Amino acid sequence: MKERRRPANSRRRFLLAAGGVAAVLAFEPADATVAEMSDAMRKVVGGAPVAKGRVTLELPPLVDNGNTVALTVRVDSPMTARDHVKTIHVFTEKNPQPNVATFRLGPRAGRASVATRIRLADTQTVVALCEMSDGTFCSGSADVVVTLAACLEEL
């Protein structure tokens, strides 16, 4: 390919254009929501301790497109009337808002496993916080790498 046949500033224009389009992405990474995520989690648990473990987040390590990321949350629980998962809250640290979803289940679920698809604005940690039938809490987390789409739509 002959470099000199390109107009001198064409590459720059492409890059500027690409940046401009980025402004209309579904989700822009926001700063400092790590603190907001802790606040949102504190609202759920109050002062109660949160044990690490029992909760598994299944997320692809590398994401094709942050608009649609497959997420499965599993909790290690017998799901009986006496011992089951009541609620699962999902949070992210770098989306514009920390809350992703709250799932309510109970012994009739038979299995504590929920799948959905979520939006991730950036490479970040996703946390699931789970409330058990005895009122205790546990949590799990997963890290996801999000790359940005190449050929973007012009709105």
Which residue among 34, 80, 115, 143 contacts another protein (CB under 8 A)? Answer: 115
CA distances for 27 relative to 15, 20, 56, 122, angstroms: 20, 14, 25, 8
Shortest separation between residue 116's beta carbon and another protein, angstroms: 5
Is residue 42 close enough to count as binding another protein by CB under 8 A? no
Residue 40: closest CA among 87, 95, 97? 97
Is residue 86 close enough to count as binding another protein by CB under 8 A? no
Which residue among 52, 150, 153, 155 contacts ligand HEC (CB under 6 A)? Answer: 150
In this structure, the strands spanning 69-75 and 62-63 are unpaired
Is residue 49 close enough to count as binding another protein by CB under 8 A? no
In this structure, the strands spanning 69-75 and 50-52 are unpaired
Is residue 51 close enough to count as binding ligand HEC by CB under 6 A? no
Q: How far apart are CA 112 and CA 140, in angstroms?
A: 14
Number of residues that bind ligand HEC (CB under 6 A): 3
Rounded (to 5) percent helix, strand, coil in the chain: 20, 35, 45
Shortest separation between residue 3's beta carbon and ligand HEC, angstroms: 16
Q: How far apart are CA 140 and CA 23, in angstroms?
A: 32
Which residue among 41, 85, 100, 130 contacts another protein (CB under 8 A)? Answer: 100
Which residue among 101, 133, 136, 141 contacts another protein (CB under 8 A)? Answer: 101
Per CB under 6 A, residues contacting ligand HEC are 149-151
